[in-house]
Amino acid sequence: MLRFEVSACEPGGRARCGMLHTAHGPARTPAFMPVGTQAAVKGIQADQVRASGAEVVLANTYHLHLRPGAELIAEFGGLHRFMAWDGPILTDSGGYQVFSLAELNRVTDEGVTFRSHVDGREVRLTPASVIEIQNRLGADIIMAFDECPPGDADHARAAGAVERTLRWAEQCRRLHQRDDQALFGIVQGGTYEELRLMCAERLIELDFPGYAVGGLSVGETHAEMVRVLEAVVPALPADRPRYLMGVGTPRDILAAVRSGIDMFDCVLPTRNGRNACAFTATGTMKLRNEQFRRSEEPLEADCTCPTCLRYSRGYLRHLFIVREMLGPILLTIHNLWFFQRFMARLRDLIPTGDWATMLGEFPIAAAPDAGCDNPVSPKRTRR
């Protein structure tokens, strides 16, 4: 069963360092979890993910249910053996697809009926089936089924999603039986603080071993995200891990850590790596630009990732220009190392609360748009 320890707190603030203990080993927090939607962090091997400093990875219930199916993964001995990852794994419930695949689904109080984005066949997800699938996958942390409303949802729409999320959470809590898996509840409520607090209060009554804040990074502004977190995070139990789903940029992560969040996941390092965008401490770098054609410099002079130790900006640009698959692999590796370096420095500085040093070393954490993407696009951070 999951155990969480807080080891240090920001003086006079909410940021904290801790340790997650799972059946597949420990993980330091604040933790950034690379996204392995289809049981793979795109383009790189499990040992390369581990070498970056990552201790937890994420996979997605909806996608693995479609292909190859939870039954087959169970035949392989579970998700850890299937993807050759021996550390902790978290599986998302598929609730985000209620939002991201809205044009393909029909939502009722009983569950969600999808038209598969793969072959168009009808797929039904309910609280019971989501728990059964995740039990078969065997992840260390699993998520309750929830409804994620869009960022611009009006009060009535957000309130309806909260009530449905709470009903589904109660069913998931009752149906989940595996002691070696920790089931997290998900706080919804859009940008409405009273809905968020009500949802959190009722989830706490169900006594989940951890709590996630969902439904952010779906179109709201950075300021709205921070406002919601500052309202809801203090209401969550201090002795349980807090997970902000689908966030995000270094700026978003820093703000969320300062509000008391412990866990993050995001596709930005891998997706942007595949699209020739490198994260560095001073900002993002678009490697297709002509200015890098003759550059013999590494991406970052002080980065110790395998990419920076061996390859120049000019070479990396060449790989992308000629569409050589090595380019996305090398840039993905660098970006994963960057995010883990960023998180490690956060853990170093939380006990002192020295945010000036953090921003001095990582100016990117003050940048309004550091993702090479539209900062309000719902596709910027999730699957």
For 132-180, what is each residue's pLDDT tens digit? 999 999 999 999 999 998 888 999 999 999 999 999 999 999 999 999 9
Higher pLDDT, 1 or 175: 175
In angstroms, rounded to a whole number, what is the distance separating the alpha carbons of residues 163 and 67?
31
Q: Which residues pair with 280 in a beta bridge?
A: 283
Give the per-residue pLDDT at 98.
Answer: 56
In angstroms, rounded to a whole number, what is the distance separating the alpha carbons of residues 231 and 228?
5
Please confirm, yes or no, whether 146 is among the known catalytic residues.
no
Q: What's the pLDDT tens digit per position in 290-325?
A: 999 999 999 999 999 999 999 999 999 999 999 999
Q: What's the pLDDT tens digit per position in 36-89?
A: 999 999 999 999 999 999 999 999 999 999 999 999 999 999 999 999 999 999
Q: Quick check: 31 and 53 in contact, CB under 8 A?
A: no
Q: What's the pLDDT tens digit per position in 188-227?
A: 999 999 999 999 999 999 999 999 999 998 889 999 999 9
Which domains are seen in the chain, by residue range? 3-266 (3.20.20.105), 273-366 (no CATH)
* Catalytic residue (choose from 92, 140, 262, 373): 92
Sheet holding 111-115, edge to edge: 105-108, 111-115, 122-125
Number of neighbouring beta carbons within 10 Å of residue 75: 12
Average pLDDT, the chain: 94
In angstroms, rounded to a whole number, what is the distance separating the alpha carbons of residues 74 and 87?
17
In angstroms, rounded to a whole number, what is the distance separating the alpha carbons of residues 253 and 143?
21
Nearest to 91, CA basis, from 178, 17, 174: 178
Please confirm, yes or no, whether 354 is among the known catalytic residues.
no
* Catalytic residue (choose from 140, 146, 265, 373): 265
Q: Quick check: 39 and 53 in contact, CB under 8 A?
A: no
Give the per-residue pLDDT at 113.
Answer: 86
In angstroms, rounded to a whole number, what is the distance separating the alpha carbons of residues 376 and 383?
15
383 has pLDDT over 70: no
